[in-house]
Structure 1
Protein backbone atom coordinates (compact mmCIF):
# COMPACT_ATOMS: atom_id res chain seq x y z
CA UNK A 1 0.00 0.00 0.00
CA UNK A 2 2.77 2.39 0.95
CA UNK A 3 4.57 1.73 -2.33
CA UNK A 4 1.36 2.34 -4.29
CA UNK A 5 0.77 5.66 -2.52
CA UNK A 6 4.34 6.72 -3.20
CA UNK A 7 3.99 5.83 -6.87
CA UNK A 8 0.75 7.79 -7.13
CA UNK A 9 2.38 10.84 -5.55
CA UNK A 10 5.29 10.48 -7.97
CA UNK A 11 2.91 10.49 -10.93
CA UNK A 12 0.90 13.39 -9.53
CA UNK A 13 3.93 15.68 -9.13
CA UNK A 14 4.81 15.88 -12.85
CA UNK A 15 1.12 16.24 -13.71
CA UNK A 16 0.78 19.16 -11.28
CA UNK A 17 3.92 20.78 -12.68
CA UNK A 18 2.57 20.35 -16.20
CA UNK A 19 -0.72 21.94 -15.17
CA UNK A 20 1.08 24.91 -13.65
CA UNK A 21 3.17 25.31 -16.78
CA UNK A 22 0.06 25.25 -18.98
CA UNK A 23 -1.64 27.84 -16.80
CA UNK A 24 1.43 30.07 -16.89
CA UNK A 25 1.55 29.88 -20.69
CA UNK A 26 -2.17 30.68 -20.78
CA UNK A 27 -1.58 33.79 -18.69
CA UNK A 28 1.39 34.87 -20.80
CA UNK A 29 -0.64 34.53 -23.98
CA UNK A 30 -3.42 36.66 -22.52
CA UNK A 31 -0.86 39.23 -21.38
CA UNK A 32 0.73 39.29 -24.82
CA UNK A 33 -2.62 40.12 -26.42
CA UNK A 34 -3.36 42.92 -23.96
CA UNK A 35 0.12 44.45 -23.97
CA UNK A 36 0.19 44.39 -27.78
CA UNK A 37 -3.15 46.16 -27.96
CA UNK A 38 -2.74 48.66 -25.10
CA UNK A 39 0.99 48.96 -24.38
CA UNK A 40 2.43 48.63 -20.91
CA UNK A 41 0.85 51.71 -19.36
CA UNK A 42 -2.57 51.08 -20.90
CA UNK A 43 -2.80 47.44 -19.81
CA UNK A 44 -4.38 46.40 -16.53
CA UNK A 45 -4.17 43.17 -14.57
CA UNK A 46 -7.96 42.88 -14.80
CA UNK A 47 -7.87 43.01 -18.60
CA UNK A 48 -5.03 40.49 -18.66
CA UNK A 49 -6.92 38.08 -16.38
CA UNK A 50 -9.99 38.36 -18.63
CA UNK A 51 -7.96 37.78 -21.83
CA UNK A 52 -6.22 34.79 -20.23
CA UNK A 53 -9.48 33.30 -18.97
CA UNK A 54 -8.38 33.23 -15.32
CA UNK A 55 -9.40 35.04 -12.15
CA UNK A 56 -7.34 37.94 -10.86
CA UNK A 57 -6.55 35.82 -7.82
CA UNK A 58 -5.05 33.12 -10.03
CA UNK A 59 -3.16 35.73 -12.02
CA UNK A 60 -1.52 37.09 -8.86
CA UNK A 61 -0.52 33.58 -7.78
CA UNK A 62 1.75 33.41 -10.84
CA UNK A 63 2.76 37.07 -11.18
CA UNK A 64 2.63 39.52 -8.30
CA UNK A 65 2.62 42.64 -10.48
CA UNK A 66 2.11 43.89 -14.02
CA UNK A 67 5.83 44.65 -14.15
CA UNK A 68 6.76 41.04 -13.33
CA UNK A 69 4.36 39.75 -15.97
CA UNK A 70 5.66 42.11 -18.63
CA UNK A 71 9.27 41.20 -17.89
CA UNK A 72 8.52 37.46 -18.03
CA UNK A 73 6.70 37.88 -21.33
CA UNK A 74 9.47 39.83 -23.05
CA UNK A 75 12.23 37.56 -21.77
CA UNK A 76 10.40 34.43 -22.90
CA UNK A 77 9.79 35.90 -26.35
CA UNK A 78 13.45 36.72 -26.86
CA UNK A 79 14.86 33.55 -25.31
CA UNK A 80 12.79 31.45 -27.69
CA UNK A 81 13.99 33.50 -30.63
CA UNK A 82 17.67 33.14 -29.78
CA UNK A 83 17.37 29.42 -29.05
CA UNK A 84 15.54 28.66 -32.28
CA UNK A 85 17.59 30.83 -34.62
CA UNK A 86 21.15 30.43 -33.41
CA UNK A 87 21.60 26.70 -33.78
CA UNK A 88 24.78 26.67 -35.79
CA UNK A 89 26.50 23.49 -36.98
CA UNK A 90 30.13 24.11 -36.12
CA UNK A 91 31.16 20.90 -37.88
CA UNK A 92 29.74 21.90 -41.27
CA UNK A 93 32.77 23.02 -43.35
CA UNK A 94 30.57 25.20 -45.58
CA UNK A 95 30.58 28.34 -43.45
CA UNK A 96 28.91 30.41 -46.16
CA UNK A 97 25.97 28.02 -46.22
CA UNK A 98 25.67 28.06 -42.42
CA UNK A 99 25.71 31.85 -42.33
CA UNK A 100 23.24 32.04 -45.21
CA UNK A 101 20.76 29.80 -43.41
CA UNK A 102 21.16 31.85 -40.24
CA UNK A 103 20.74 35.14 -42.08
CA UNK A 104 17.57 34.07 -43.87
CA UNK A 105 15.97 32.71 -40.68
CA UNK A 106 17.08 35.79 -38.74
CA UNK A 107 15.57 38.28 -41.17
CA UNK A 108 12.35 36.29 -41.58
CA UNK A 109 11.88 36.33 -37.82
CA UNK A 110 12.89 39.97 -37.39
CA UNK A 111 10.35 41.02 -40.02
CA UNK A 112 7.38 39.27 -38.41
CA UNK A 113 4.78 41.88 -37.38
CA UNK A 114 4.43 40.43 -33.88
CA UNK A 115 8.18 40.62 -33.35
CA UNK A 116 8.29 44.24 -34.45
CA UNK A 117 5.38 44.96 -32.09
CA UNK A 118 7.23 43.38 -29.17
CA UNK A 119 10.27 45.56 -29.81
CA UNK A 120 8.10 48.68 -29.97
CA UNK A 121 6.38 47.61 -26.77
CA UNK A 122 9.66 47.17 -24.90
CA UNK A 123 11.07 50.45 -26.20
CA UNK A 124 7.92 52.20 -24.98
CA UNK A 125 8.27 50.75 -21.49
CA UNK A 126 12.03 50.73 -20.88
CA UNK A 127 12.40 54.47 -20.31
CA UNK A 128 10.22 54.11 -17.23
CA UNK A 129 11.54 50.64 -16.37
CA UNK A 130 15.13 50.34 -17.66
CA UNK A 131 15.41 46.76 -16.44
CA UNK A 132 12.88 45.70 -19.08
CA UNK A 133 15.20 46.83 -21.84
CA UNK A 134 18.20 45.24 -20.15
CA UNK A 135 16.40 41.91 -19.67
CA UNK A 136 15.12 41.95 -23.25
CA UNK A 137 18.58 42.71 -24.60
CA UNK A 138 20.33 40.04 -22.55
CA UNK A 139 17.77 37.34 -23.38
CA UNK A 140 17.69 38.08 -27.10
CA UNK A 141 20.32 40.16 -28.92
CA UNK A 142 23.15 39.48 -26.48
CA UNK A 143 22.36 35.76 -26.37
CA UNK A 144 22.28 35.52 -30.16
CA UNK A 145 25.53 37.43 -30.54
CA UNK A 146 27.12 35.17 -27.94
CA UNK A 147 26.15 32.03 -29.82
CA UNK A 148 27.34 33.41 -33.15
CA UNK A 149 30.58 34.58 -31.51
CA UNK A 150 31.23 31.05 -30.24
CA UNK A 151 30.57 29.66 -33.71
CA UNK A 152 32.97 32.16 -35.32
CA UNK A 153 35.66 31.26 -32.79
CA UNK A 154 35.26 27.59 -33.71
CA UNK A 155 35.64 28.42 -37.41
CA UNK A 156 38.74 30.49 -36.70
CA UNK A 157 40.27 27.49 -34.95
CA UNK A 158 39.41 25.39 -38.01
CA UNK A 159 41.10 27.94 -40.29
CA UNK A 160 37.85 28.88 -42.06
CA UNK A 161 37.55 32.45 -40.75
CA UNK A 162 39.89 35.11 -39.37
CA UNK A 163 38.97 37.76 -36.80
CA UNK A 164 40.68 39.54 -33.91
CA UNK A 165 37.43 40.65 -32.26
CA UNK A 166 34.90 37.83 -32.57
CA UNK A 167 32.20 39.66 -30.61
CA UNK A 168 32.35 42.56 -33.06
CA UNK A 169 32.48 40.16 -36.01
CA UNK A 170 29.24 38.51 -34.85
CA UNK A 171 27.55 41.90 -34.51
CA UNK A 172 28.85 42.93 -37.92
CA UNK A 173 27.25 39.94 -39.62
CA UNK A 174 23.83 40.46 -38.03
CA UNK A 175 23.89 44.18 -38.77
CA UNK A 176 24.95 43.53 -42.35
CA UNK A 177 21.93 41.27 -42.77
CA UNK A 178 19.33 43.66 -41.46
CA UNK A 179 21.11 46.93 -42.48
CA UNK A 180 18.29 49.39 -41.86
CA UNK A 181 15.45 46.92 -42.36
CA UNK A 182 14.43 46.86 -38.71
CA UNK A 183 14.47 50.67 -38.49
CA UNK A 184 12.16 50.79 -41.50
CA UNK A 185 9.75 48.36 -39.89
CA UNK A 186 9.83 49.97 -36.45
CA UNK A 187 8.82 53.31 -37.96
CA UNK A 188 6.28 51.64 -40.25
CA UNK A 189 8.07 53.31 -43.13
CA UNK A 190 7.77 50.46 -45.60
CA UNK A 191 6.61 46.93 -46.19
CA UNK A 192 8.15 43.82 -44.70
CA UNK A 193 10.79 42.27 -46.97
CA UNK A 194 9.77 39.51 -49.34
CA UNK A 195 11.84 36.38 -49.98
CA UNK A 196 13.75 38.02 -52.80
CA UNK A 197 14.80 40.97 -50.66
CA UNK A 198 15.80 38.71 -47.79
CA UNK A 199 17.87 36.48 -50.07
CA UNK A 200 19.60 39.50 -51.62
CA UNK A 201 20.35 41.06 -48.23
CA UNK A 202 21.82 37.85 -46.86
CA UNK A 203 23.90 37.11 -49.96
CA UNK A 204 25.41 40.58 -49.77
CA UNK A 205 25.95 40.26 -46.01
CA UNK A 206 27.85 36.99 -46.48
CA UNK A 207 29.91 38.50 -49.31
CA UNK A 208 30.90 41.57 -47.30
CA UNK A 209 31.48 39.52 -44.15
CA UNK A 210 33.88 37.24 -46.00
CA UNK A 211 35.70 40.24 -47.43
CA UNK A 212 36.52 41.26 -43.87
CA UNK A 213 36.66 37.94 -42.04
CA UNK A 214 37.39 35.24 -44.59
CA UNK A 215 40.58 33.25 -44.10
CA UNK A 216 42.36 35.32 -46.79
CA UNK A 217 41.66 38.46 -44.72
CA UNK A 218 44.11 37.42 -42.00
CA UNK A 219 46.92 39.90 -41.95
Structure 2
Protein backbone atom coordinates (compact mmCIF):
# COMPACT_ATOMS: atom_id res chain seq x y z
CA UNK A 1 0.00 0.00 0.00
CA UNK A 2 1.27 3.45 -0.92
CA UNK A 3 -1.07 5.84 0.88
CA UNK A 4 0.66 8.94 -0.50
CA UNK A 5 0.21 7.88 -4.13
CA UNK A 6 -3.06 6.01 -3.61
CA UNK A 7 -1.74 2.77 -5.10
CA UNK A 8 -1.93 -0.92 -4.25
CA UNK A 9 0.67 -3.38 -5.55
CA UNK A 10 -0.28 -7.04 -5.80
CA UNK A 11 2.29 -9.78 -6.35
CA UNK A 12 1.25 -13.15 -7.78
CA UNK A 13 3.02 -15.81 -5.67
CA UNK A 14 2.80 -18.27 -8.60
CA UNK A 15 4.13 -15.86 -11.21
CA UNK A 16 7.32 -16.67 -13.14
CA UNK A 17 10.52 -15.27 -11.70
CA UNK A 18 11.03 -11.64 -12.60
CA UNK A 19 7.38 -10.84 -13.33
CA UNK A 20 6.66 -7.39 -11.86
CA UNK A 21 3.74 -6.85 -9.42
CA UNK A 22 0.51 -5.35 -10.70
CA UNK A 23 -0.26 -1.83 -9.56
CA UNK A 24 -3.76 -0.37 -9.05
CA UNK A 25 -4.50 3.32 -8.40
CA UNK A 26 -7.44 4.66 -6.40
CA UNK A 27 -8.60 8.01 -5.03
CA UNK A 28 -7.51 6.88 -1.57
CA UNK A 29 -6.07 3.69 -0.09
CA UNK A 30 -5.62 2.69 3.54
CA UNK A 31 -2.87 0.46 4.83
CA UNK A 32 -3.69 -2.35 7.29
CA UNK A 33 -2.71 -0.13 10.22
CA UNK A 34 -5.15 2.65 9.33
CA UNK A 35 -7.40 3.88 12.14
CA UNK A 36 -11.19 4.01 11.95
CA UNK A 37 -11.08 7.78 12.45
CA UNK A 38 -8.72 8.12 9.48
CA UNK A 39 -11.15 6.25 7.24
CA UNK A 40 -14.07 8.35 8.48
CA UNK A 41 -12.32 11.70 8.17
CA UNK A 42 -11.08 11.09 4.63
CA UNK A 43 -14.09 9.32 3.11
CA UNK A 44 -17.28 10.04 5.07
CA UNK A 45 -16.78 13.36 6.87
CA UNK A 46 -16.99 15.52 3.69
CA UNK A 47 -20.26 13.78 2.75
CA UNK A 48 -21.81 14.33 6.18
CA UNK A 49 -20.69 17.98 6.15
CA UNK A 50 -22.43 18.43 2.80
CA UNK A 51 -25.64 16.85 4.11
CA UNK A 52 -25.62 19.27 7.06
CA UNK A 53 -25.46 22.10 4.51
CA UNK A 54 -28.53 20.78 2.67
CA UNK A 55 -27.17 18.37 0.05
CA UNK A 56 -27.94 14.65 -0.32
CA UNK A 57 -25.26 12.03 0.22
CA UNK A 58 -24.86 8.24 0.19
CA UNK A 59 -22.29 6.05 1.91
CA UNK A 60 -21.91 2.31 1.36
CA UNK A 61 -19.26 -0.38 1.60
CA UNK A 62 -18.89 -2.84 -1.28
CA UNK A 63 -17.25 -6.26 -1.20
CA UNK A 64 -17.62 -9.94 -0.46
CA UNK A 65 -18.37 -11.52 2.91
CA UNK A 66 -15.41 -11.36 5.26
CA UNK A 67 -13.68 -8.40 3.62
CA UNK A 68 -14.46 -5.99 6.46
CA UNK A 69 -17.60 -4.13 5.35
CA UNK A 70 -19.37 -4.41 8.70
CA UNK A 71 -16.27 -3.42 10.66
CA UNK A 72 -15.75 -0.39 8.41
CA UNK A 73 -19.38 0.73 8.63
CA UNK A 74 -20.19 -0.21 12.25
CA UNK A 75 -16.98 -1.24 14.00
CA UNK A 76 -17.05 -1.84 17.76
CA UNK A 77 -19.48 0.68 19.18
CA UNK A 78 -18.40 0.15 22.79
CA UNK A 79 -14.83 1.25 22.01
CA UNK A 80 -14.51 4.84 20.70
CA UNK A 81 -11.29 4.17 18.76
CA UNK A 82 -12.90 1.23 16.92
CA UNK A 83 -16.24 2.82 16.03
CA UNK A 84 -17.05 2.72 12.33
CA UNK A 85 -18.55 5.17 9.87
CA UNK A 86 -22.15 4.85 11.07
CA UNK A 87 -21.66 5.68 14.79
CA UNK A 88 -19.05 8.31 13.88
CA UNK A 89 -21.54 9.99 11.55
CA UNK A 90 -24.19 10.01 14.31
CA UNK A 91 -21.74 11.72 16.68
CA UNK A 92 -20.60 14.09 13.92
CA UNK A 93 -24.13 15.29 13.15
CA UNK A 94 -25.17 16.02 16.72
CA UNK A 95 -21.75 17.41 17.60
CA UNK A 96 -22.19 19.95 14.82
CA UNK A 97 -25.74 20.78 15.92
CA UNK A 98 -24.57 21.39 19.50
CA UNK A 99 -22.01 23.94 18.29
CA UNK A 100 -24.28 25.76 15.85
CA UNK A 101 -25.42 29.33 16.41
CA UNK A 102 -28.66 30.06 18.24
CA UNK A 103 -30.39 31.32 15.10
CA UNK A 104 -29.90 27.94 13.37
CA UNK A 105 -32.27 25.11 14.21
CA UNK A 106 -32.32 21.49 13.10
CA UNK A 107 -34.97 18.78 12.87
CA UNK A 108 -33.48 15.29 12.47
CA UNK A 109 -35.55 12.30 11.35
CA UNK A 110 -34.58 8.73 10.49
CA UNK A 111 -36.15 5.93 8.45
CA UNK A 112 -35.00 2.39 7.71
CA UNK A 113 -36.13 0.19 4.84
CA UNK A 114 -35.20 -3.19 3.40
CA UNK A 115 -35.33 -4.46 -0.18
CA UNK A 116 -35.65 -8.26 -0.18
CA UNK A 117 -36.74 -10.37 -3.15
CA UNK A 118 -37.70 -7.14 -4.96
CA UNK A 119 -40.10 -6.17 -2.17
CA UNK A 120 -39.73 -3.12 0.09
CA UNK A 121 -40.32 -3.42 3.84
CA UNK A 122 -40.34 -0.77 6.55
CA UNK A 123 -37.93 -2.07 9.18
CA UNK A 124 -39.36 0.38 11.72
CA UNK A 125 -43.01 -0.28 10.92
CA UNK A 126 -45.52 -1.93 13.25
CA UNK A 127 -46.57 -4.51 10.63
CA UNK A 128 -43.48 -6.37 9.43
CA UNK A 129 -45.58 -8.34 6.92
CA UNK A 130 -46.65 -5.20 5.05
CA UNK A 131 -44.94 -4.35 1.76
CA UNK A 132 -44.50 -0.76 0.55
CA UNK A 133 -44.66 0.80 -2.89
CA UNK A 134 -41.95 2.82 -4.62
CA UNK A 135 -43.46 5.99 -6.13
CA UNK A 136 -42.22 9.02 -8.03
CA UNK A 137 -43.39 12.63 -7.98
CA UNK A 138 -42.05 15.60 -9.94
CA UNK A 139 -41.53 17.66 -6.78
CA UNK A 140 -39.80 15.06 -4.57
CA UNK A 141 -38.52 12.46 -7.04
CA UNK A 142 -38.47 8.77 -6.09
CA UNK A 143 -39.86 7.93 -2.64
CA UNK A 144 -41.37 5.04 -0.69
CA UNK A 145 -45.05 5.52 0.12
CA UNK A 146 -46.02 5.21 3.82
CA UNK A 147 -42.42 4.73 5.00
CA UNK A 148 -42.31 5.66 8.70
CA UNK A 149 -39.91 8.31 10.02
CA UNK A 150 -38.92 9.06 13.61
CA UNK A 151 -37.60 12.29 15.10
CA UNK A 152 -34.32 11.81 17.01
CA UNK A 153 -32.69 14.13 19.51
CA UNK A 154 -29.25 12.60 19.94
CA UNK A 155 -26.85 9.93 18.67
CA UNK A 156 -28.14 7.39 21.20
CA UNK A 157 -31.66 7.71 19.74
CA UNK A 158 -30.28 6.96 16.26
CA UNK A 159 -28.31 3.98 17.50
CA UNK A 160 -31.31 2.56 19.34
CA UNK A 161 -33.59 2.89 16.30
CA UNK A 162 -31.03 1.31 13.96
CA UNK A 163 -30.60 -1.62 16.38
CA UNK A 164 -34.38 -2.09 16.43
CA UNK A 165 -34.52 -2.13 12.63
CA UNK A 166 -31.64 -4.59 12.36
CA UNK A 167 -33.63 -7.10 14.40
CA UNK A 168 -36.35 -7.03 11.71
CA UNK A 169 -34.03 -7.69 8.76
CA UNK A 170 -34.37 -10.80 6.58
CA UNK A 171 -31.47 -13.20 6.97
CA UNK A 172 -30.73 -16.19 4.76
CA UNK A 173 -27.92 -18.59 3.97
CA UNK A 174 -25.38 -17.92 1.24
CA UNK A 175 -22.59 -20.10 -0.05
CA UNK A 176 -20.02 -17.97 1.75
CA UNK A 177 -21.61 -17.18 5.08
CA UNK A 178 -24.59 -18.82 6.78
CA UNK A 179 -25.56 -15.55 8.50
CA UNK A 180 -25.01 -13.14 5.62
CA UNK A 181 -27.95 -10.91 4.97
CA UNK A 182 -29.70 -11.51 1.66
CA UNK A 183 -31.27 -8.07 1.63
CA UNK A 184 -30.37 -4.49 0.83
CA UNK A 185 -30.99 -2.08 3.71
CA UNK A 186 -31.07 1.72 3.56
CA UNK A 187 -30.91 3.80 6.75
CA UNK A 188 -31.79 7.41 5.91
CA UNK A 189 -31.10 10.46 8.06
CA UNK A 190 -33.05 13.57 7.04
CA UNK A 191 -31.73 16.89 8.34
CA UNK A 192 -33.96 19.95 8.07
CA UNK A 193 -31.98 23.12 8.75
CA UNK A 194 -33.62 26.48 9.40
CA UNK A 195 -31.42 29.62 9.23
CA UNK A 196 -32.37 33.21 9.95
CA UNK A 197 -31.25 35.19 6.89
CA UNK A 198 -30.14 38.79 6.60
CA UNK A 199 -33.69 39.56 5.51
CA UNK A 200 -34.92 38.34 8.93
CA UNK A 201 -36.75 35.48 7.22
CA UNK A 202 -36.34 31.77 8.01
CA UNK A 203 -34.62 29.81 5.22
CA UNK A 204 -35.02 26.03 5.26
CA UNK A 205 -32.64 23.53 3.66
CA UNK A 206 -33.06 19.75 3.68
CA UNK A 207 -30.31 17.17 3.24
CA UNK A 208 -30.55 13.38 3.29
CA UNK A 209 -27.82 10.95 4.23
CA UNK A 210 -28.32 7.36 3.07
CA UNK A 211 -26.35 4.54 4.73
CA UNK A 212 -26.59 1.48 2.48
CA UNK A 213 -25.91 -2.15 3.37
CA UNK A 214 -25.71 -4.12 0.12
CA UNK A 215 -26.62 -7.82 -0.01
CA UNK A 216 -23.63 -10.05 -0.73
CA UNK A 217 -25.69 -12.21 -3.06
CA UNK A 218 -26.09 -9.28 -5.46
CA UNK A 219 -22.37 -8.81 -5.99
CA UNK A 220 -20.82 -10.00 -9.27
Tell me the TM-score normalised to structure 1 length. 0.35
Higher relative contact order, chain-length normalized (CA < 8 Å, sep 6+): 2
Structure with a larger share of its residues in helix: 1
More strand by share: 2
When the two structures are superposed, what TM-score results if normalisation uses the length of structure 2? 0.35
